[in-house]
Amino acid sequence: MPMKKDKYTYRVTWSEDDSEYVGLCAEFPSLSWLAKTPEKALSGIRKVVDDVVRDMHKHGESIPDPISSRHYSGKFMVRVPPQVHQKLAIQAAEFGVSLNRLASAKLSQ
């Protein structure tokens, strides 16, 4: 019986090395599933995740929360070399915006 609500984050991409589609799950980066079609790759990775979650539950292991269920503050710290910091501060001043607004705009591109 599959998970009632599968809220995990999946991606299907082409694997040139394997000449097949690969299904991936962001919350379980060590898992993957190869298939000839994108649909089968997605179906396969979802089944693997379901099996792993069931096994983890059975053994009392901590199960990752889906990314979609996590809460984000909107803040994180990024360290950059002093020269980059200076360059960004100059750009922000030239555009008449805060350094935070400039960085946010650049990250959103």
Mean pLDDT, to the nearest integer, of 72-100?
A: 94
Percent of the chain with pLDDT over 90: 93
DSSP single-letter state for residue 2: -
Residues in the chain: 109
Distance, in Å, from the CA atom of 26 to the CA atom of 49, rounded to the nearest integer, reads 11
Judged against a pLDDT cut of 80, whether residue 106 lies above it is answered with: yes
Judged against a pLDDT cut of 90, whether residue 32 lies above it is answered with: yes
Burial class (CB within 10 angstroms; exposed 0-12, middle 13-18, buried 19+) of 25: buried
Judged against a pLDDT cut of 60, whether residue 85 lies above it is answered with: yes
Report the predicted TM-score, pTM, of the whole model to 2 decimal places: 0.73
Give the pLDDT band of residue 33 (cuts 50, 70, 90): very high
pLDDT at 17: 97
